[in-house]
């Protein structure tokens, strides 16, 4: 097995490792160290793993989360929906970390490309670790003591989950608008590395400063966090297996709805997630299970 940097800022590509065979202890140690340091691993040309094989590999990097109350440990990100589809359709997704509006953001997410055809969308990634380090010192000092409100809109008022607006009160209704205040300078839960834990999709306001100031500070953050020079765009190929740290990296994608009359592309990605307590999360966000099932 061999590792090479995936981007100058984060990630490693893993070469000469077949996930269909057992992984030696030495390789497992090296993979875990690379994941802790680089926050993302890419393995190309892998055979289609079984659901259990995918979950087994992901479990090298943390506890695998149930995706549904029936205990299922896989979900699907696909425009060919089935009963376990978590992220449906072809619409774009703004930058986010999964479940950052709860106390239990996922620790990690792994996707394997099972079926692809036509022109779908790349998944893009930005590093919250790089962004914190890249902030000008004066801005770092200003942001360090602040908290940030992450919120998703489950009211049905918006077609999207999550509304990038600060129109809500400090403590909106938890069932309709599940939300969580997080430290803006988030220590990584495993390594303590400082992360800029705000995202464009779900982070609606900074606490402890007037609204105008909150807006201005968020507008100062986004161009640093999403600087195109430091974004990685992953163009999916069948057999790709990607795993990333959901605290240290954010993700999003462009809309890939076909033009009228054009054939729809096929994009079937299997997902295995790390680290959240799904049952507690559904108790805290009762509309989550319903919203996912309805998709
Ligand atoms: Fe996501």
pLDDT digits (tens, 9 = 90+) for 28-67: 999 999 999 999 999 999 999 999 999 999 999 999 998 8
Instruction: Give pLDDT, residue 157.
Output: 63
Cα(98) to ligand 1 centroid in Å equals 5
Residues 85, 270, 160, 171, Cα dihedral to 10° = 100
Q: 5 CA distance to ligand 1 centroid (A)?
A: 23
The CATH classification number of 1-295 equals 3.60.130.10
Sheet strands side by side (includes 249-253): 93-96, 249-253, 123-127, 232-234
CA of 251 to the centre of ligand 1 (A): 6
Find out whether 163 and 204 touch, Cβ atoms under 8 Å: yes
Ligand 1 center–CA 253 separation, angstroms = 9
Which pLDDT score is estimated for 168?
Answer: 65
CA dihedral of 80, 83, 84, 87, whole degrees rounded to 10:
50
> What is the distance in A from the centroid of ligand 1 to the CA of 24?
31
170 against 164, higher pLDDT: 170
Share of the chain above pLDDT 70, in %: 92
Question: Could you tell me the distance, in angstroms and rounded to a whole number, from the CA of residue 97 to the centre of ligand 1?
Answer: 6
Phi/psi region, residue 99 (left: phi>0; alpha: psi -120 to 50; beta: rest), is: left
Question: How far is the centre of ligand 1, averaged over its atoms, from the C-alpha of 270 (Å)?
Answer: 13
Q: What is the pLDDT of residue 191?
A: 94
Tens-digit pLDDT profile for residues 77-134: 988 877 777 777 888 889 999 999 999 999 999 999 999 998 889 999 999 999 999 9
The rounded Cα 99 to chain-centroid distance in angstroms is 8
Distance CA 231, CA 234 (A): 10
Q: Is the pLDDT of residue 160 over 60?
A: no
The pLDDT score that the predictor gives to residue 188 is 97
Spatial contact of 291 and 161, defined as CB atoms under 8 Å apart: yes
109 C-alpha to ligand 1 centroid (Å): 9
The per-residue pLDDT for 169 is 64
Helix H or strand E segment including 117: strand 108-117
pLDDT digits 0-9 by tens, 250-291: 999 988 888 899 888 999 999 999 987 777 777 778 777 665
For residue 124, the CA-to-ligand 1 centroid distance in Å is 11
Q: Which string of DSSP letters, residue by residue, matches 202-259?
A: TEEEESSS-HHHHHHHHHHHHHHHT-GGG-EEE---TT-EEEEETTTEEEEE---PPP
Instruction: Please give the average per-residue pLDDT across 190-198, as a whole number.
Output: 97
Query: pTM of the full predicted structure?
Result: 0.93
Task: Report the greatest alpha carbon distance in the chain.
Answer: 56
pLDDT at 127: 98
Ligand 1: centre distance to CA 79 (Å): 15
Q: How far is the CA of 4 from the centre of ligand 1 (A)?
A: 26
What is the residue-averaged pLDDT of the chain? 90
Helix, coil or strand: residue 178: coil
Compute, in angstroms, the gap from residue 277 CA to the centroid of ligand 1: 17
Band (pLDDT 50/70/90 cuts) for residue 294 is very low
| The pLDDT of residue 162 | 46
Average of per-residue pLDDT across 229-247: 97
């Amino acid at each position: 097995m061999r590792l090479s940097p995936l981007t100058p800022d984060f990630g490693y590509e893993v070469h000469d490792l077949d996930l269909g065979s057992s992984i030696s202890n030495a390789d497992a140690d090296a993979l875990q160290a690379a994941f802790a340091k680089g926050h993302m691993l890419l393995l190309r040309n892998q055979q289609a793993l079984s659901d259990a094989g995918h979950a087994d590999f992901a479990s090298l990097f943390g506890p695998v989360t149930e995706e549904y109350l029936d205990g299922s440990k896989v979900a699907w990100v696909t425009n060919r929906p089935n009963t376990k589809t978590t992220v449906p359709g072809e619409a774009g997704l703004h930058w986010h970390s999964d479940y950052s509006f709860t106390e239990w953001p996922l620790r990690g997410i792994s996707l394997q490309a099972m079926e692809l055809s036509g022109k779908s969308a790349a998944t893009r990634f930005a590093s919250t670790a790089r962004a914190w380090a890249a902030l000008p010192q004066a801005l770092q000092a200003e942001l360090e003591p602040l908290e940030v409100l992450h919120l998703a809109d489950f009211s049905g008022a918006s077609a999207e989950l999550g509304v990038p607006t600060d129109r809500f009160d400090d403590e909106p209704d938890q069932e309709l608008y599940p939300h969580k205040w997080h430290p803006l300078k988030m220590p990584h839960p495993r390594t303590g590395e400082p992360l800029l834990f705000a995202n464009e999709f779900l982070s609606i306001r900074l606490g402890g400063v007037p609204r105008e100031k909150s807006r201005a500070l968020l507008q100062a953050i986004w161009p640093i966090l999403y600087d195109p020079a430091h974004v990685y765009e992953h163009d999916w190929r069948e057999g790709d297996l990607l795993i990333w740290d959901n605290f240290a990296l954010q993700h999003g994608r462009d809309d890939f709805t076909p033009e009228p009359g054009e054939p729809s592309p096929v994009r079937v990605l299997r997902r295995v997630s790390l680290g959240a307590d799904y049952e507690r999360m559904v108790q805290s966000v009762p509309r989550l299970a319903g919203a996912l099932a309805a998709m």
